[in-house]
Amino acid sequence: MGKGEETRQAILEQAIALASEVGVSGLSIGALADKAGMSKSGLFAHFGSKEEMQLAVLRAAQERFAEFAFKPALKERRGLPRLRALMTNWLNWTEKARLPGACPLNSAANEFDDQPGPVRDAVAAGLADGRRMLANAVRLAVEAGDLREDTDVDQFVFELVGIELAAMQSQRLFRDKQAIPRALGAFERLVRDHQPSRKE
Amino acid sequence: MGKGEETRQAILEQAIALASEVGVSGLSIGALADKAGMSKSGLFAHFGSKEEMQLAVLRAAQERFAEFAFKPALKERRGLPRLRALMTNWLNWTEKARLPGACPLNSAANEFDDQPGPVRDAVAAGLADGRRMLANAVRLAVEAGDLREDTDVDQFVFELVGIELAAMQSQRLFRDKQAIPRALGAFERLVRDHQPSRKE
DNA sequence: GGCTTTTTAGCACGAACGTTCGTATTCTGT
DNA sequence: ACAGAATACGAACGTTCGTGCTAAAAAGCC
């Protein structure tokens, strides 16, 4: 890895942290350059445009999510254990990744949902990826016999997303310490409602 | 109502619309002045500072929410009917209010959750108000016998919030036409899980 | 160690930002 | 209709925005 890629990676690390606080659209080149300890134009040269920088930050954040939330959950057995791990990791991956703020993807989803363009597309693609990953885990849980055969996978994922979003709002806006317990409670209720009948 | 208050109200109407698209923090005085058809300084004089303008927009948006989502639901019978009305109104009040974008309060929640200050406080207070209103409706449903006596009201509200947020993300980011049906499905499952036992 | 390529800094640009001020216009009460 | 107050405007402020251009410094290669 040459010097260029090295500093680019360092920039992106600072960028993810800053974006978690001020959002991807609030991320300015000047502020980021200050934080990274380099000149505005020097940093700018790595991306060529602000939009390209935003896309790079989104990609980098997604990689972090995969590293801290997705990959660790693969160590669990397919089915309910893995789904539960996915959910708990998802709820606290920003802390694990030592981000000072919220998940950049989620913030960006709110900032760009009415701003057509490549950034919006990237955000949508990233979150769709997350939903697909969840859907897969749910499907595996059905196949493993941990959830009922007639489980509506997309509906199940929809409700998982809701739990996650409610937890983030409770935790970040209201500083509610019960956010995670509430989320886990909702998750367990969801699972209970989809438990296969006793007699196999 | 003097001329001053009149144009102030007109400004705020444009402001809510614009904020629903670009967010409360993305709302710039110049852009808003253009949209309102007046000069930057003339508009500015109505508020004295950008922060004061943001606070005014948040208050105005909250009033709109009360008008389009909360008040109409009061016509329904206390208990499950009113709660259901509250939920469905909440899911589509931005359309009823003819906003081109998302709920400004919800967007602002994501933008300001890491930006301490009066705006953050106002957003938190506004959304806390919404949760309180929901909690009240849930309590009334318990008292009316529509929900089980041992219902955990705060947990119930948490899950309602989750349903709402998931629906908004599905609808606004993914343009998923099934967002509302999914939300209603989740709501009914939540209600079913808290139904009082058959034998009174 | 010199040469080429890559990476960084410095400087300048036009535009937009929030804000101030003095002046013009428009309302309002009599 | 007129005086006084309320409201709106235009110009300018200092800053920051994203983005070029050019030159210096650093890194990589023979």
Q: Encoding tokens for residue B161?
A: 């919030």
Tokens of A14: 């600072």
Residue B199 has pLDDT above 70, yes or no: no
- pLDDT score recorded for residue A197: 82
- Contacts for B82 with CB less than 8 Å, ≥ 6 apart: B73, B74, B76, B137, B140, B141
Q: What percent of chain A has pLDDT over 90?
A: 96
Q: Which is nearest to A14 in space by CA: A62, A69, A66, A61? A: A61
Nearest nucleotide (C1') to alpha carbon of B40: D9
Answer yes or no: is A28 CB < 7 A from strand D.
yes
What is the CB neighbour count within 10 angstroms for residue B128?
12
pLDDT value of position B4: 75
pLDDT, tens only, A62-91: 999 999 999 999 999 999 999 999 999 999
Over residues A34-50, mean pLDDT: 96
- Which of A4-13, B30-39, B143-152 has the least mean pLDDT? A4-13
Q: What is the 3-state secondary structure (H, E, C) of B98-165?
A: CCCCCCHHHHHHHHHCCCCCHHHHHHHHHHHHHHHHHHHHHHHHHHCCCCCCCCCHHHHHHHHHHHHH
pLDDT at A136: 98
Compute the average pLDDT of residues B45-72.
98
**Alpha-carbon torsion (A28, A29, A30, A36), positive or negative:** positive
pLDDT higher than threshold 60 for residue A200: no
In the prediction, which pLDDT does A3 show?
A: 76
Q: How far apart are CA A33 and CA A27, in angstroms?
A: 10
Q: What residue spans define the domains of chain A? A: 60-193
Q: Is the pLDDT of residue A199 over 80?
A: no
**pLDDT number for residue A124:** 98
Contacts of B143 (CB under 8 A, 6+ apart): B78, B79
Using only the alpha carbons of chain A, give its radius of gyration: 19
Q: Considering all CA atoms of chain B, what is the largest pairwise distance in Å, rounded to the nearest integer?
A: 68
* The pLDDT of residue B5: 87
Q: What is the pLDDT of residue B198?
A: 61
- In this prediction, residue B104 carries a pLDDT of 98
Considering the domain B59-193 in this protein, what is its CATH number?
1.10.357.10
Is the Cβ–Cβ distance between B59 and B92 less than 8 Å? no
Amino acid A198: pLDDT: 61
Which of B123, B154, B166 is facing A158, going by the closest CB pair? B166
pLDDT of residue B23: 97
Residue-wise pLDDT for B6-54, tens only, equals 999 999 999 999 999 999 999 999 999 999 999 999 999 999 999 999 9
Q: How far apart are CA A33 and CA A55, in angstroms?
A: 17
Specify the DSSP class assigned to residue B67: I
User: Mean pLDDT, chain B, as a whole number?
Assistant: 96
Q: Which CATH code for domain A60-193?
A: 1.10.357.10
Set of chain B residues whose Cβ sits within 8 Å of the Cβ of A109 = 169, 173
Which structure tokens are listed for B75?
């016509």
CA of B13: how far to CAs of B7, B17, B119, in Å?
10, 6, 19
Q: How much is the pLDDT for A2?
A: 78
Check pLDDT > 90 for residue A10. yes
Q: What is the pLDDT confidence band of residue B197, given thresholds at 50, 70 and 90?
A: confident
For an interface test with A, the pick among B165, B168, B172, B180 (most A C-beta atoms closer than 10 Å) comes out as B165
Q: What's the token pair of residue B42?
A: 């003339």
H-type alpha helices, chain A: 3-22, 29-36, 40-44, 50-65, 71-73, 80-96, 104-112, 118-143, 153-172, 179-193
Confidence of residue A4 (pLDDT cuts 50, 70, 90): confident
Q: Closest nucleotide to residue A6 (Cα to C1')?
A: C7
> For residue range A78-127, what is the model confidence (pLDDT) as tens digits?
999 999 999 999 999 999 999 999 999 999 999 999 999 999 999 999 99
